[in-house]
């Protein structure tokens, strides 16, 4: 079982340490205090956190042809 520091976990998620601390305080990411100041995150739990928030890729939808509106402008017509 590998343990990560808050800094290492934040770098893996590409977020700030402060954002990571918010995830921990809200209970979204489990962390363990191993000393008066030392906090560690289990690497496998970090991976589970990432996988649980994975979204499906967005499928490209074909664009429909837009209806062409006829031009109603007549030369000499006042355009507002």
The pLDDT, as a whole number, for residue 64 is 74
Confidence (pTM): 0.67
The terminus-to-terminus CA distance of the chain in angstroms comes to 72
Domains of the chain: 3-52 (1.10.10)
CA atoms of 7 and 42, how far apart (whole Å): 13
d(C-alpha 41, C-alpha 32), whole Å: 6
Task: Tell me the pLDDT tens digit for each residue of 23-79.
Answer: 999 999 999 999 999 999 999 999 999 999 988 888 877 777 677 777 777 778 776
**Between residues 9 and 59, the one the model is more confident about:** 9
């Amino acid at each position: 079982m590998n343990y990560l520091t808050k800094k290492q976990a934040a770098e893996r998620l590409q977020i700030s340490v402060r954002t990571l601390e918010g995830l921990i305080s809200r209970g979204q990411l489990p962390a363990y205090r191993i000393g008066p100041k030392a906090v560690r995150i289990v690497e496998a739990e970090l991976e589970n956190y990432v996988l649980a928030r994975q979204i499906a890729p967005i499928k490209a939808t074909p664009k429909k042809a837009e209806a062409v509106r006829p031009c109603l402008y007549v030369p000499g017509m006042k355009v507002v």
